[in-house]
Amino acid sequence: MLIFDQLKKSDRKLRLVAIAILTGLTTLLVGLYFVQVISSKRYVKDLNNQSFRTVRVPSIRGQILDRNRLPLAGNRALFNINLYLEELREAFKEEYKLRKASRKLDRSEMTELGLTTRFNVISNLVQKLSLVMQQPIAFSENQFRKHYEHWTYAPLPLLTNLAPEQVARFQENSSKTPALNLEIQPVRYYPYKTTAAHVLGYLQRSEGADDDEETVLFNYRLPDYEGKVGIEAAFDKELRGSAGVKSVLVNSLGYRQSETVITPPEPGKNVILTLDLPIQQATERALRSRNPNERGAAIVMDARNGDVLALVSSPAPDPNQFTPRISPEYWQELTDPRQLPLINRATGAAFAPGSIFKIVVALAGLEAGTINPSFTMTNPGFIRVGNRTIHDTAPPGEYNFQRAFIKSSNAYFIRHGLDTGVEKILSMGRRFHLGEAVDLPTLQNVRGFFPTREWIQRQRGRGDPWTDGDTANLSIGQGAIAVTPMQMAVMTAAVANGGKVVWPRIVQRIEPQEPAGDEDTALVFPNRVRSELGVNPTHLALIREAMRGDVEDEGSGWRAAVPGMQVCGKTGTAEVKQGGKLVDKITWFVSFAPYESARYVVVVMVQSGASGGGTCAPIAQQIYRAIKEREAQRNNTKPDRLASAN
Amino acid sequence: MFDPKLNERPARIEWPLILALVGLMVFGGVSIYSATMGNWATTLKQVLWYVVGVGAASLFCLIPYHSLARFSLVAYWTTILLLVAVLIHGIGAFRFGARRWIDFGFFQFQPSEFAKLAFIFVQAHFLSRPLDELRLPRIFAKALGMTVLPFLLILKEPDLGSALVLLPVGLVMMFVGGVPVKYLLRLVGGMGILIALLLVDILFAPRNWQIKLEDYQRHRLLVHFGRDFAPRDATPEQRKRARELQQQKSYHVEQALISVGSGGLTGKGWRQGTQNALGYLPRGVAHNDFIFSVIAEENGFVGSMGVLALYTVVLFSGIKIAGRARDRLGKLLAVGVVVLLFSHVFINIGMNIRLMPVTGIPLPLLSYGGSSVLCSLIAAGILQNVYLYRRSY
């Protein structure tokens, strides 16, 4: 080095000093290289850890629309007032000085005073706000301390769900206080309240613990909701979209300094149902016409393809009550053991079908040749099976198939059921997929119960063999059988459409909230046929004919008749017995219309009704009237979207 | 007229030194502006001190160092008096847990800074006696005594850092001056053992066996050597408290490291450092003792190298000047100044990267502070003085 050469050769000591200094400087240089270049990443990470907080920003939830894109579930603006702590720092300081005065405090006393000071400043502000808003505001010291300790950088929510006049009052009086901020939060909104509540489901506050797809560890999550049941749950991922990420720069005291949006939230998609809102509403009205708290279910289905046009279960919850938080009183109401509003009675509960099961028995008998439609049987008004006598609700007299079906003669069907044999009845039932779930994406499907050969054998092994009495019971839809109204709708549709057993469809498509212009972005769910019945079409025609007679020829379902609709149906009244004593009745009406080329299937089930014909048929009639009106209205206005849907 | 050859004189000004100093002052002003979040008042005050310092340094250049050295004893005893005075209540201002300043209102006078300069003068003067005398133990003892007196007084303030700086300065001056190496080796050996014992005592011995240090000094050492604050027999409660205390005490070092490290290769740019802006690096120290963190964060390794390069130029100019000095006095003055500046640079930058424990030692010319700027510039003036009068007989 230059300087070394310049030093006199003899000046050994000075050279030594120079070398020592050079060594020292080199040490620093190496140290700096190590810190700033080699391990820089580690320190950048530390820096980010201490000065950035990631905040999860939920996206706007997609809507659930009916087939005509009327919103069944949407979003509305919730007005909240949030408090920003960093805006109060000056106020904290001043108050702190005042309180401390000239006292000498040790460190922990200072911290404590600091906290109480902050709480007091905020609490005064909250008091003022409370006066302006004319509403008490719950704000406790514990709440503040927790927030201050963990989320100093995040706004502290003070008031939520402001009334419009409160919004106005706030803007007039307090909007100049920089620490208080009026913010809009989108919340789920079900404009028709209980309408289609079971299909839609409801939301609950999401804690995000099961969000395994999210790899980012968030310091803070803005409130987010997730679907608990129904479409909201089944398509939660699609509806929810993906949450955005916001990064908040915080200073050494934890106060917010600035924010950057790292990923904007991606709005959720819309789910378009097959439901038709006017029909759904009419069906609900009809089901509740007798009693607003009727326990029952009603389904309107497109007989040709299985599109569910209305799906009603009563009583129904109001999904609006679940967000932001459900009240304990309402929860009490929802868990009433008799009403059970949360149960979807159309798909999520199974009942004895009663006489409507005679459709299956009749078809089994016709196919087996054990029922001869022209054969006439004398009915004494009862039938003896083994040593048991079963009374017939139909009057004594001469019965052919048609009359037996219309009058729902138990004697006729028990006798022919026994003739046909349990094997054939069970095999016919399985062609209708009884005892199997319909797998609607409402996540409320039960299989019901339908005996299988294995089950019968198992029961025999347990000392409970299948007897003629059991076959007799099954022949009139009682005993070892439980079905859901939806299964009955599928059954009726199969009879009506000539043998297609469909998968009911309730979701048509999923689309982006703002369509990109081309249709490809939509996810379409086509109609699906589950299986073919594979029976003689004339036999199906016979049953359709009999069903028409049930409504139009003074049969048990005559109350369902609507002029010009050619309604065809079958009534059912199942008895629920406990220890041989009648405790309840399940009443049914399954139907389709029009007779010539079936379009609509209407199934009505009412618990504790009087009888299928007396309770359910009138409900079905109202529904058919509404459908007729709807058709007329639609023909007058715009092209038939109902019929054109796929 | 004049014969240019007759007029040709050897260079009078050591330009690399001057340029490096100007570079440091520019760097200092700019960095202090950034470190104080754009506080013009503080920045201008520092610039003012640069101006005053350059003036003082020029004054020191005008009078040949021989003449100055005559007053060295007076200067030395004056600073000793001031060091005593600063310890007296009512004279010394008590700030940050120490009595280091005499408050003149507009200027907090820090006698320890000036004591360092006076000490260099008196030591150089004392050691520039005939070499034979330097071999006498009596003389060695006197030289040692002159080092220890201000050392103890500054230690009492307490300002361990400034006190410790005196030791290498004194030792190197004795070494270069010609005090026999065996004396020095014995001294250094003894001190080494003493320091080792002291460290072992502080770091490992039970509490009541320990030498009484100021709590903050003990903590700094514990932090530096990564030792647990809690004594071995501590209860969980004590242990928890100790851990919290440790976190507080390690805070500056941690934050300085994060600042320096996150600067990376090229830094975040002037006034773009977040550590200081967000208050992680406490505002109170960012522009003085920890100015290097700010510089390193904003300018990266490149900037750090720049700073080191400027200091290297200053230090090696000093060594060159020492080598060219006319006499032993000049050489010793230059060596003393070089070692003083080097010690400051090494300790200050070292503590920013955890090479050294935290001590309140300013970075010459970069740290904010009147006394430090003034003394650094006067020290540089002394170097220039030695260079200037190397041939005037």
In chain A the first and final C-alpha atoms are separated, in Å, by: 89
Residues of A in contact with B273 (CB under 8 A): none
Closest CA to A569 of A538, A604, A608: A604
Report whether pLDDT(A8) > 70.
Answer: no
Q: Looking at the complex, report in whole angstroms how far the Cα of residue A157 sits from the nearest Cα belonging to chain B.
A: 25
> How many CB contacts within 8 angstroms connect chain A with chain B?
123
Residues of A in contact with B247 (CB under 8 A): none
Whole-angstrom Cα distance, residue A281 to residue A43? 63
User: What is the SS3 assignment for B187?
Assistant: helix
| pLDDT of B20 | 95
Asked if B258 reaches chain A (Cβ–Cβ under 8 Å), the answer is: yes
Asked if B278 reaches chain A (Cβ–Cβ under 8 Å), the answer is: yes
Inter-chain residue contact A46 with B261, CB threshold 8 Å: yes
A437: phi then psi, degrees, rounded to nearest 5: -75, 155
Report whether pLDDT(B167) > 80.
Answer: yes
Residues of B in contact with A256 (CB under 8 A): none
Instruction: State the number of CA atoms in the 13 A half-sphere of B82 facing the CB.
Output: 19
Q: Could you report the per-residue pLDDT of B194-214, keeping only the tens digit for each?
A: 888 877 877 777 666 666 666
- For A125-149, what is the mean pLDDT? 86
| Strands annotated E in A475-552 | 500-503, 507-512, 523-524, 528-532
Q: Chain B: residue nearest A41 by CA?
A: B262
Report whether pLDDT(A132) > 70.
Answer: yes
Q: Chain B: residue nearest A21 by CA?
A: B342
Q: Looking at the complex, report in whole angstroms how far the Cα of residue A265 sits from the nearest Cα belonging to chain B.
A: 27
Q: Chain B: residue nearest A11 by CA?
A: B323
Measured at the CA of A174, the angle between CA A172 and CA A176, to 5 degrees, comes to 95
Q: Could you report the per-residue pLDDT of A532-582, keeping only the tens digit for each?
A: 999 999 999 999 999 999 998 888 899 999 998 999 999 999 988 887 788
Tokens matching residue B282: 């406490």
Inter-chain residue contact B261 with A44, CB threshold 8 Å: yes
Instruction: Give the C-alpha distances (Å, rounded to integers) separating A613 from A242, A299, A545, B218.
Output: 51, 17, 18, 95
| Percent of chain B's residues with pLDDT above 90 | 38
| Percent of chain A's residues with pLDDT above 70 | 94
Asked if B260 reaches chain A (Cβ–Cβ under 8 Å), the answer is: yes
Residues of A in contact with B350 (CB under 8 A): 28, 31
Q: Could you report the per-residue pLDDT of B377-392, keeping only the tens digit for each?
A: 999 999 999 998 886 5
- For A73-80, what is the mean pLDDT? 88
Inter-chain residue contact B311 with A17, CB threshold 8 Å: no
Report whether pLDDT(A643) > 50.
Answer: no
Q: Chain A: residue nearest B322 by CA?
A: A14
Q: Could you report the per-residue pLDDT of A264-284, keeping only the tens digit for each?
A: 888 889 999 999 999 999 999
Nearest residue, CB atoms, B264 vs list A27, A40, A50: A40
Residue of A33, A35, A153 to mutate when probing chain B, most B C-beta within 10 A? A35
Inter-chain residue contact B323 with A8, CB threshold 8 Å: yes
Q: Chain A: residue nearest B251 by CA?
A: A252
Residues of A in contact with B301 (CB under 8 A): 32-33, 36-37
| pLDDT of A295 | 94
Q: For residues B202, B204, B208 and B209, what is the CA-based torsion angle, rounded to 10 degrees?
A: -80
Report whether pLDDT(A413) > 70.
Answer: yes
Mark A190-206 as b/e (b = at least 16 C-beta within 10 Å): bebebbbbbbbbbbbeb
| pLDDT of A437 | 92
Inter-chain residue contact B261 with A40, CB threshold 8 Å: yes
Confidence tier at A50 by pLDDT (50, 70, 90): confident
Whole-angstrom Cα distance, residue B181 to residue A480? 111
Inter-chain residue contact B258 with A249, CB threshold 8 Å: no
Inter-chain residue contact A36 with B263, CB threshold 8 Å: yes
- Contact in structure between A259 and A155 (CB atoms under 8 Å): no
Q: Residues A15, A19, A24, A30: is their CA dihedral positive or negative?
A: positive
| pLDDT of B392 | 52
What are the DSSP calls for B12-73, one per residue?
-S-HHHHHHHHHHHHHHHHHHHHHTTS-HHHHHHHHHHHHHHHHHHHHHHHS-HHHHHHTHH
Whole-angstrom Cα distance, residue B271 to residue B297? 10
| pLDDT of A212 | 43
How many CB atoms sit inside 10 A of residue A388's CB? Answer: 11
- The separation between CA A88 and the C-alpha centre of its own chain, rounded to angstroms, equals 43
Asked if B251 reaches chain A (Cβ–Cβ under 8 Å), the answer is: no
Q: Could you report the per-residue pLDDT of A435-483, keeping only the tens digit for each?
A: 999 989 888 899 999 999 999 999 999 988 999 999 999 999 999 999 9
Collect contacts of A253-261 with beta carbons under 8 A, ≥24 apart. Answer: A253/A152, A253/B279, A254/A152, A254/A153, A255/A85, A255/A86, A255/A89, A255/A152, A255/A153, A256/A84, A256/A85, A256/A86, A256/A152, A256/A153, A256/A154, A257/A86, A257/B278, A261/A57
Q: Looking at the complex, report in whole angstroms how far the Cα of residue B301 sits from the nearest Cα belonging to chain A.
A: 6
Tokens matching residue A295: 């326990």
Asked if B299 reaches chain A (Cβ–Cβ under 8 Å), the answer is: no
Nearest residue, CB atoms, B262 vs list A32, A43, A251: A43
- For A623-642, what is the mean pLDDT? 79
Q: Could you report the per-residue pLDDT of A94-114, keeping only the tens digit for each?
A: 888 888 887 888 878 888 888
Confidence tier at B322 by pLDDT (50, 70, 90): very high
Q: Looking at the complex, report in whole angstroms how far the Cα of residue B365 sits from the nearest Cα belonging to chain A.
A: 17
- Contact in structure between A261 and A448 (CB atoms under 8 Å): no
A578: phi then psi, degrees, rounded to nearest 5: -125, 115
Tokens matching residue B275: 């550590």
Q: For residues B374, B379, B384 and B388, what is the CA-based torsion angle, rounded to 10 degrees?
A: 110
Inter-chain residue contact A3 with B264, CB threshold 8 Å: no
Inter-chain residue contact A36 with B257, CB threshold 8 Å: no
Q: Could you report the per-residue pLDDT of A595-608, keeping only the tens digit for each?
A: 989 999 999 999 99
Q: Looking at the complex, report in whole angstroms how far the Cα of residue A156 sits from the nearest Cα belonging to chain B.
A: 21
Inter-chain residue contact B338 with A25, CB threshold 8 Å: no
Residues 6+ apart with CB under 8 A from B186: none
Asked if B270 reaches chain A (Cβ–Cβ under 8 Å), the answer is: no
Lowest mean pLDDT among A40-49, B95-104, B289-298: B95-104
Asked if B48 reaches chain A (Cβ–Cβ under 8 Å), the answer is: no
Whole-angstrom Cα distance, residue A642 to residue A625? 16
Inter-chain residue contact B260 with A39, CB threshold 8 Å: no
Nearest residue, CB atoms, B349 vs list A1, A28, A44: A28
Quickly list H helices, A392-536: 401-407, 410-420, 422-431, 453-461, 468-475, 485-497
Q: Could you report the per-residue pLDDT of A347-381, keeping only the tens digit for each?
A: 999 999 999 999 999 999 999 999 999 889 998 88
Q: Chain A: residue nearest B336 by CA?
A: A17
| pLDDT of B10 | 62
Residue of B37, B248, B262 to mutate when probing chain A, most A C-beta within 10 A? B262
Whole-angstrom Cα distance, residue A313 to residue A299? 9
Tokens matching residue B375: 């003394």
- Contact in structure between A438 and A504 (CB atoms under 8 Å): yes
- The separation between CA B73 and the C-alpha centre of its own chain, rounded to angstroms, equals 22
ipTM: 0.89
User: What is the SS3 assignment for A167?
Assistant: helix
| pLDDT of B2 | 47
Inter-chain residue contact B319 with A44, CB threshold 8 Å: no
Residues of A in contact with B175 (CB under 8 A): 13, 16-17
Confidence tier at A519 by pLDDT (50, 70, 90): low
Q: Could you report the per-residue pLDDT of A372-391, keeping only the tens digit for each?
A: 998 899 988 889 888 888 88
Asked if B284 reaches chain A (Cβ–Cβ under 8 Å), the answer is: no
Q: Which pTM value belongs to this model?
A: 0.69
Instruction: State the number of CA atoms in the 13 A half-sphere of B173 facing the CB.
Output: 36
Q: Looking at the complex, report in whole angstroms how far the Cα of residue A86 sits from the nearest Cα belonging to chain B.
A: 13
